[in-house]
Amino acid sequence: MFPKQIVVLGGENEPDFLETLRKEGWTVLPVRSATQLGALNRDTDSTACGLLLAGAQFEKQLPRFRSLLLSTDFEWVVLLEQQMLEISEVRQFVYECCYDYHHRPIDAKRLLVTLGRLRGKALLRHRQYDVEAPIGELIGEHPVMVQLRKNAQRIARSQANVLITGESGTGKELVARTIHRLSDRSHGVFQAVNCGALPGSLVQSELFGYEKGAFTGASERRLGRIESASGGTLFLDEIGDMALEAQVNLLRFLQEGTIERLGSPHPIGVNVRVVAATHVDLMGRVRQGGFREDLYYRLNVCTIHIPPLRERPSDIIPIAQHLIACHAENLGVPKRRLSSESVQALVNHAWPGNVRELTNRLSQGLVMSSGRFIKPKDMGLEAGVEPSIYPLDKERENAEREALRIALAINQGNRSKVARSLGVSRATLYRLLNKHQLLDLADATS
């Protein structure tokens, strides 16, 4: 149970009311300096409430009080003179920094009710942050994400290679890390290699390592990324961009479990699980001759597809709240909340950059907002009032495509099993796969 604590800022001019608070079971914590407030904010749990007692010339000290209040995690109520509310800067201050206001003379009963509500709100907020998953957790309650987490768990228990597909920023690396964390390799390293960033000339030495003297400049032996990941997981991001020559060696490694360092004819056994990711249509690349078909099938033992954020709009706000809780501390700013306009704007946005864009916009919003709430403009978004619901036929299309993807993943592309699990004939399944351009994910022989 959290104690009833109230931080009182701004003078001792209400001794009777402070006494009433004590009698009502509140611990009153008077604050006289910014340092004291900072210490209380650090040492008191965030369910404590704040009461600001506005004194004479309050309107001249608004910037100081604004930065004091916003530097804390507490919810605040301000007590002021009624005529002060005629000053627009004061009204703006109350709107931005406070949960509520009361004016003098004090109506003790009413103010106690307000403080009771304030505490209730602080407790709720505390619980909300308390249940937040730690940073690095895959958030999302959309049915596709729920299924995706289950699949990741199942896959983690096996040693199978995995191919993760999805647009840029959808969370492919996060899923790969989750598989690693849940696997019996979690004590080994997670080695991430961005194949797109490696020039063709470097990819071989980077992945497979080299012996001293293997080429000019090879002054000592160097282990490659595959060997360094031994006992752990190798994450090959943007696998579609890997040079063809390196693809041959990677295939040999996947078939035989051995590598050869450049300059050495001796194969070395390496125990590594490979998780690859791509944002391009890898099968399309196979057809164009840019990616080896045999390697595609070696990597694609299990597939996880992450749909873009716009196709799972119910995930936007839970992920946003999680990210605010995680990033506010890293950025050294208070945990501000989303205004209702911001919630609407976030849901309306199309998210071409997916969750990465969401992370960036929220970080910007946390830094730029000057009040208790993050507003749309703080995140570089237009305030939107449009309802966030997609037309029904678009929702149906999305649901149909997701059901197909899930069934394909669970049944490893086996068409007969997929058709059975979806309760449709093979002919209908073929039509649906064709319509959603998912034929590549289905095994034509099954």
Ligand X SMILES: Nc1ncnc2c1ncn2[C@@H]1O[C@H](COP(=O)(O)OP(=O)(O)OP(=O)(O)O)[C@@H](O)[C@H]1O
Q: Which residue is nearest to ligand X, using beta carbons? A: 171
Cβ-Cβ contacts under 8 Å for 304 (sequence gap 6 or more): 148, 151, 152, 155, 162, 163, 164, 165, 175, 409
What is the DSSP code string of 197-246? Answer: GS-HHHHHHHHHEE-TTSSTT--S-EE-HHHHTTTSEEEEETGGGS-HHH
E strands within 85-129?
100-103
Q: Do the Cβ atoms of 188 and 303 come closer than 8 Å?
A: no
Nearer to ligand X, 98 or 355 (CB): 355
Closest separation in Å from C-beta 316 to ligand X: 10
Of the candidates 435, 365, 431, 350, the one whose C-alpha atom is nearest the C-alpha of residue 167 is: 350
Nearer to ligand X, 185 or 361 (CB): 361
Closest separation in Å from C-beta 388 to ligand X: 19
What is the DSSP code string of 157-196? Answer: HS---EEEE-STTSSHHHHHHHHHHHSTTTTS-EEEEEGG
Closest separation in Å from C-beta 306 to ligand X: 7
- The pair of structure tokens assigned to 239 is 């696998």
Q: Distance between CA 23 and CA 28 in Å, rounded?
A: 10
Cβ-Cβ contacts under 8 Å for 235 (sequence gap 6 or more): 173, 176, 177, 180, 190, 191, 192, 193, 275, 276, 277
Q: Distance between CA 290 and CA 104 in Å, rounded?
A: 76
- The pair of structure tokens assigned to 7 is 């931080």
Q: Distance between CA 94 and CA 90 in Å, rounded?
A: 6
Nearer to ligand X, 263 or 318 (CB): 318
Q: Do the Cβ atoms of 239 and 299 come closer than 8 Å?
A: yes
- The pair of structure tokens assigned to 71 is 């530097």
Nearer to ligand X, 94 or 192 (CB): 192
Closest separation in Å from C-beta 137 to ligand X: 6
What is the DSSP code string of 25-72? Answer: TPEEEEE-SHHHHHHHHHHS-TT-EEEEE--TTGGGGHHHHHHHHHTS
Reported as type and span, the H/E element at residue 78 is strand 75-80
Q: Distance between CA 346 and CA 361 in Å, rounded?
A: 10
Nearer to ligand X, 264 or 364 (CB): 364
Q: Phi and psi at residue 36, in whole multiples of 5°?
A: -65, -40
Nearer to ligand X, 39 or 133 (CB): 133
Closest separation in Å from C-beta 349 to ligand X: 15
Nearer to ligand X, 52 or 333 (CB): 333
Nearer to ligand X, 172 or 415 (CB): 172
Closest separation in Å from C-beta 319 to ligand X: 5
Nearer to ligand X, 19 or 141 (CB): 141
Nearer to ligand X, 188 or 308 (CB): 308
Closest separation in Å from C-beta 214 to ligand X: 31
Closest separation in Å from C-beta 331 to ligand X: 14
Closest separation in Å from C-beta 324 to ligand X: 12
Nearer to ligand X, 5 or 183 (CB): 183
CA 205 to the chain's CA centroid: 34
Residues that bind ligand X (CB under 6 A): 138-140, 166, 168-174, 237, 279, 319, 322, 355-356, 359
Q: Cis peptide before 105, with omega less than 30 degrees from 0?
A: yes
